[in-house]
Structure 1
Amino acid sequence: MVKLARWNDGGEVRAGFIQGDRAYPLPAGQTVNDLLDAGLDESLAAAERILGGAPTSGTGAPVPLAGVVLLAPLVPASLRDFVAFEEHVEGMRISIDGAPGVMEEWYQAPTFYFSNPHTIRATGDEIPIPAGCHQLDFETEVAAVVGRVPGSGGGNLSAEQAQRHIFGYTIFNDWSARDLQRREMKVSLGPCKGKDFAGTLGPWIVTADEFAHRQDADGFLDLRMSVDVNGIRVGEDLLSNMGWPFAELVAYASQDSLVLPGDVLGSGTCGSGCLAELWGRQGDQAPPPLQTGDSVSMTVEGIGTITNTVGPRREASTLVRARPRQRLPRSYDGAAAARG
């Protein structure tokens, strides 16, 4: 299995491959994003050389995985997050709007929002509660990582073409401040401060070829997903319960746009993969919102596990009210007013 990772080894950030209990570094200065830009075939060839012990200038000796601190496997060039699980949409609609069922528009095409690539965290990191948040939540997801395909610009892809652009997969925890998000969504634009404070990717990227045998005829990946809070299982699902396979998500994102190496596309939360969905179905906040000291672990079959501990809340007032402004009458003639 080929796994790409970034780690801190005594203050030096290195990138490379993980095999067993060892971390095999790339040549000094080479990054995971360099491999994404080279494409999957070249990266697999590099893995074969390095993991096979072939002399490679500047790589350095492998080091024990237990002796390094894993970082997020990449800093995304962009971060799109879909909402691809019907069960999650159904539960969240009850939680946020009090409405049953799934809106017809969800079925018509996959929907996503752009999140913040600058606040990506790693497994093992502490996640502080953002200011004003009293309903911290997690979201259990898998993310596809895009790599370069020679001869393709990454725009207007078919699903078949998009599949070739999927370099690999990683676990994604889309941390959510539900009370902040609930207020923001009433403005009919989308989440902002309810989402952009943190997202965890990791523990590494597993290359797409490792999952070819787990894809069905429609491209869905039959991988088990689960999430535990303080060691207690609170949710689990199959990745194959997505409404669209990843290739169709990547293809949709590319329409009249581009997907480029280093882009990350999240699946959206799996069924029972967050607290707010459970709150909506049960009618109460059980399990309760996350608190300082809580531990959240997500496991995806074939990829691994990420774990984060919740840190303290940042105490600050961040809401800034709009200033009342004088509105011009509808019949106002700006040109006449300018003429005096």
Structure 2
Amino acid sequence: MKWVTYDGGDDIRTGVIDGDVVRGLAAGTTLLDLLSSGHLAEAGADALRTPAEVRGLEDVRLLAPLPRPASIRDGLCFLDHLRGCYRALGRPEELHPAWSEAPAFYFANADAIVGPYEEVPISPGSSMFDLELEVGAVIGRGGRDIPPDRAESHVVGYTLYNDWTARDHQLRDMAQGIGMAKSKDSAITLGPALVTVDELEPYRRDGRLAMELSATINGEELTRGTLDQMDWTFSELISYVSRGTDLPPGSVIGSGTVPAGCLLEHVDTAELSDFARWLRPGDVVSLRGEGLGETRQTVQKGLDVAPLRPAG
């Protein structure tokens, strides 16, 4: 099933896409509630059989399927993305052994979720605003200390994930050395739907989901790749994330960026001169994924910021 959260003009509802219509559940029902209660499959059957309302897709505005997830952690599972960033920054591409010992991730801002067609303002004070092409796995069955061979069974479905990043703020965050802060704080796109795992089985190859993923800016392709390029699988990442801690239903786990799926990896690439810049107001950014759909968002001017006094 393709689960969506949508605005029909009078209220916000949860529903299932069925062809060119949305079959909605009763007002007040949220996707997070259904995941937390374990009643998602039953609710989906009800939506198809006896929906509370039926709306044409063209008559509703799709929001993020999980407007406020239980938690968000974003991994870095495509190591060629990291090598590409190092190359663009003029650093040696050889990775520290730590990158092969455990999958890296950071805690992202669950209050910063935006929908698949919403405008995205540039992070306040940033002049180096970037996109990142990712996929998010959504936890349907919670757990703790989940073994890798069972971790994928805890995933209810997947969604496109754009990890908007202020690269100039990221340089300061990295210099401070205690993790991502304002560089990753302004927006995370999820959507257009939460696509359940059974819908995506046709894209499985050799045990891995191999959906083709791509990103465009103003209609020009930035990159194209497949999900099975991940060096660390979702199963391994979820197992690691759940070590010694509860992973509740409705949590979102990001894959990390598909190689070349951000502008940072292109800023030194002369043959792609149109991408040798950062995002500007008016740019239209789209992510696409086989079976997952497409996002389309316009970048807007950000807020000016009041300077802080130097400390110390």
Q: Would you say same fold, with TM above 0.5?
A: yes
* C-alpha distance in 2 between matches for 1:214 and 1:247: 17
After superposition, what is the alpha-carbon deviation per residue over 1:158-187, rounded to whole angstroms, capped at 9, x for unaligned?
A: 123221210100000000001111121112
Aligned residue for 1:80?
73
Runs of 4+ in 1 over 6 A off after TM superposition: none
Deviation at 1:282, TM superposition (A): 5.7
* C-alpha distance in 1 between matches for 2:250 and 2:129: 28
Identity %: 38
* C-alpha distance in 2 between matches for 1:7 and 1:175: 22
Which of 95, 111, 130 is the matching residue for 2:123? 130
Deviation at 1:131, TM superposition (A): 2.0
Which of 174, 184, 204 is the matching residue for 2:173? 184
1:159-170 alignment runs, 5 A limit? 159-170=148-159
Aligned residue for 1:327?
none
Deviation at 1:100, TM superposition (A): 2.3
* C-alpha distance in 2 between matches for 1:233 and 1:285: 11
2:269 touches 2:276 (CA, 8 Å); kept in 1?
A: no
Q: What amino acid sits opposite 2:73 in the alignment?
A: R
Aligned residue for 1:16?
15
After superposition, what is the alpha-carbon deviation per residue over 1:243-269, rounded to whole angstroms, capped at 9, x for unaligned?
A: 122121111100111211111000000
* C-alpha distance in 1 between matches for 2:235 and 2:269: 31
2:213 touches 2:288 (CA, 8 Å); kept in 1?
A: yes
Aligned residue for 1:262?
250
1:211-226 alignment runs, 5 A limit? 211-217=200-206, 219-226=207-214
* C-alpha distance in 2 between matches for 1:181 and 1:260: 29
1:280-319 alignment runs, 5 A limit? 286-319=275-308
The alignment partner of 1:62 has SS state of strand
Give the gaps of 5 or more residues in structure 2.
Answer: none
**More off after superposition, 233-242 vs 282-291:** 282-291
The alignment partner of 2:295 has SS state of strand
Is 2:184 the partner of 1:195?
yes
After superposition, what is the alpha-carbon deviation per residue over 1:98-134, rounded to whole angstroms, capped at 9, x for unaligned?
A: 2323222111110000010101000111111122200
Q: What amino acid sits opposite 2:300 in the alignment?
A: G
Aligned residue for 2:237?
249
Structure 1 pair 286–29 and aligned structure 2 pair: CA distance change class (3 A): closer
Is 2:107 the partner of 1:114?
yes
* C-alpha distance in 2 between matches for 1:180 and 1:269: 18
* C-alpha distance in 1 between matches for 2:211 and 2:16: 22
1:228-247 alignment runs, 5 A limit? 228-247=216-235
* C-alpha distance in 2 between matches for 1:135 and 1:71: 26
Deviation at 1:212, TM superposition (A): 3.0
Is 2:271 the partner of 1:278?
no
TM-score (normalised: structure 2): 0.94
* C-alpha distance in 2 between matches for 1:293 and 1:5: 27
Q: Which has the higher strand share?
A: 2
Q: What amino acid sits opposite 2:122 in the alignment?
A: I
Structure 1 pair 162–185 and aligned structure 2 pair: CA distance change class (3 A): same
1:36-75 alignment runs, 5 A limit? 36-39=35-38, 42-51=39-48, 53=49, 55=50, 59-74=51-66, 75=68
Deviation at 1:287, TM superposition (A): 3.0
1:91 touches 1:281 (CA, 8 Å); kept in 2?
A: no
**More off after superposition, 5-14 vs 275-284:** 275-284
Q: What amino acid sits opposite 1:50 in the alignment?
A: A
- Name the larger-Rg structure: 1
Deviation at 1:72, TM superposition (A): 0.7
Q: How many aligned residue pairs are there?
A: 310
Give the gaps of 5 or more residues in structure 1.
Answer: 325-340
